[in-house]
Amino acid sequence: MSLREGRFVIAATGLRAEARIAERSAHVRAVAGGGDGARLARLIERSIAEGGQALVSFGIAAGLESSLPPGTCLVGGEIVQAGKSYRADAAWTAKLEDRLATKRVVIAGTDRPLTSMSAKKSLKTETGAVAADMESHVVAQLAARYGLPFAVLRVIADSAERDIPSAALAGMRSDGGIDVLAVLAALLRHPDQLPALLRLAADTRAARAALLRCDDLLGPGLGFGDLV
């Protein structure tokens, strides 16, 4: 594997904060879908047309396995969604495993946030996955369509044993940014959610710190091949 001159790795994220971390690596262009799979697909396809040579799903994930605490780094070897399975590029995945000292796992794709422990448990039972996110299946589908290699690097943010307060989702913008005022307005309506929101914020900070460490360990192209 190698990146040809003028080409780059496309990092698909949900949030702009994750995209900024991915783009710390040379030869990486990041796109943030904001939880909208169709929007993310359009952004990825545009980047492919402009020189994207490989795809990586990069960012935080929901834990489906209770033994995985926030900040756990995972490499996706297989993505499952809607009864279909996609295998990540073997060589790239092996390189991620080696550099990050972790193992490959099954990750589930979902089109909507997993806000409850029961939803996480149900998805684990259905798929056998240990984590889930809203971008990896979009990446896998487009990689298959365009004949491009893909990899998955995700870090647990919310554990399998926690619900997500609705106030946390109120601030999600379509461009992957966070509307703080919308979160505060939601809290005014549901002040009882404050403790859960603070726990989630702390867990998300731990996950982003882990993403930064992964980014530093992988270097240019987020570990994709020999760069030119």
- The domain that holds 138 is classified in CATH as 3.40.50.1580
13 in Cβ contact with 135 (< 8 Å): yes
| Per-residue pLDDT at 191 | 86
Residue at 48 is within a domain: yes
Q: Hey, how many other C-beta atoms are within 10 angstroms of the C-beta on 119?
A: 18
| Per-residue pLDDT at 174 | 76
| Per-residue pLDDT at 80 | 97
Would you call 107 exposed, middle or buried from its count of C-beta atoms within 10 A (0-12, 13-18, 19+)?
A: buried
| Predicted TM-score (pTM) of this structure | 0.91
| Per-residue pLDDT at 68 | 93
Residue at 87 is within a domain: yes
Residue at 195 is within a domain: no
Cα pseudo-dihedral 60, 149, 51, 75, rounded to 10: 20
| Per-residue pLDDT at 227 | 40
111 CB-near residues (< 8 Å, 6+ apart): 37, 134
- Locate tokens 């070897």: which residue? 77
| Per-residue pLDDT at 226 | 58
Would you write out the chain's pLDDT as a tens digit for each of its 228 residues? 666 666 899 999 999 999 999 999 999 999 999 989 999 999 999 999 999 999 999 999 999 999 999 999 999 999 999 899 999 999 999 999 999 999 899 999 999 999 899 999 999 999 999 999 999 999 999 999 999 999 999 999 999 988 888 887 877 777 777 878 887 888 888 988 888 889 888 999 999 999 999 999 998 999 997 543
Residue at 209 is within a domain: yes
Residue at 175 is within a domain: no
Tell me which residue range forms the domain holding 109.
2-164+204-227
Distance CA 182, CA 62 (A): 22
How many secondary structure helices (H) and strands (E) does the chain include?
8, 10
Amino acid at 117: M
| Per-residue pLDDT at 228 | 37
Residue at 197 is within a domain: no
Provide the domain count of the chain: 1
